[in-house]
Structure 1
Amino acid sequence: MIHFIVHDQHDSVGVVVVEGVEAGQEVTGWIMDQDKELKVKLLNDIPIGHKFAIRDLNEGDTVMKYNTDIGRMVQPAKAGEHVHVHNLKTKRW
Structure 2
Amino acid sequence: MSRKFNALKLNENDNVAVALRGIKEGEWLSIQGDDEKIQVMQKIPYGHKIATTFIAKDAKILKYGECMGISTEEIQPGHHVHVFNVRGLKEEERISSLKEVQQP
**TM-score, normalised with respect to structure 1:** 0.87
Instruction: Provide the residue aligned with 1:48 in structure 2.
Output: 46
Alignment of 1:7-26 (within 5 A): 7-19=10-22, 21-26=23-28
CA RMSD in angstroms, aligned pairs only: 1.2
**How many residue pairs end up in the alignment?**
87
Instruction: Provide the residue aligned with 2:73 in structure 1.
Output: 75
Structure whose alpha-carbon radius of gyration is higher? 2
Question: Which runs of no fewer than 5 residues in structure 2 stay unpaired?
Answer: 92-104
Residues in 2 aligned to 1:81 and 1:37: alpha-carbon distance in whole angstroms: 17
State the AA in 2 paired with 1:4.
A
Q: Which has the higher strand share?
A: 1
Q: Which runs of 4+ in 1 moved over 6 A?
A: none
**TM-score, normalised with respect to structure 2:** 0.78
- How far residue 37 of structure 1 moved from its aligned partner, in angstroms, is 2.7
Instruction: Provide the residue aligned with 2:57 in structure 1.
Output: 59
Identity in percent: 23
Q: Which has the higher helix share?
A: 2
State the AA in 2 paired with 1:85.
V
Q: For 1:14, what is the secondary structure of its paired residue?
A: strand
Question: Which runs of no fewer than 5 residues in structure 1 stay unpaired?
Answer: 31-35
Q: Is residue 88 of structure 2 the alignment partner of residue 85 of structure 1?
A: no
